[in-house]
Amino acid sequence: MFTVNYKDSNSLQIQFSFTPSKPDCYYHMIISDNNDEVYMSTEVKNGHWYKYWFSFFFKYNIKLLSFDGENVEIIDEKNFDIKNHKFLINLRTESNQELNIWRDYLSLVESTLSTKFDIIVNADLPPEQDLTDTIEISRLMYDLYLGSSEKPLTNDYSSLTIIKTLFNIL
């Protein structure tokens, strides 16, 4: 019914492919997170894709609903499971110390969650259509996060804070 991928600039991209059950139905997607910090409802159409930027990543619950004027029906529902995604993680930094901290952190996540990431360093990514789940860990992405976050701004640009914030899985 729909697929979920992480794309450029660490956004959540959702593509819908469903057969409308009735011609006069409305279809809505509800996105929420595990901590009830995000709740968004959007009307969607078959064959379209939608892109969302959140203040955090990797924790979502998505429901596709149909509404015919009287009845609401859940058509499809997905909850995030990191094992259903094969992440390509681009670590973008000029600091070897920062790079080592980020790699160590990702190794810890891999061992804790029994998963595997493809990690590249300072790479130019192939065209977006050739990628499925891509994440960039960088100061630029952290600045974008700080600019869109409802949390108070911080002056903490430590390597550990950046990756713990942008790679908020644990």
Please compute the mean of the pLDDT values over residues 10-39 and round it to a whole number: 80
pLDDT in tens, 28-80: 999 887 766 677 888 998 888 888 766 555 677 889 999 988 889 898 998 87
H/E element, 98: helix 96-113
Cα 102-121-57 angle, rounded to 5 deg = 55
**Structural domains in the chain?**
2-80 (2.60.40.10), 83-166 (no CATH)
pTM of full prediction above 0.95: no
Who wins on pLDDT, 39 or 170? 39
Alpha carbons 56 and 38: distance in angstroms, whole number = 10
pLDDT in tens, 74-111: 989 988 777 777 888 899 999 999 999 999 999 998 89
Most distant pair of Cα atoms in the chain: their distance? 59
At 94 the pLDDT is 94
At 10 the pLDDT is 61
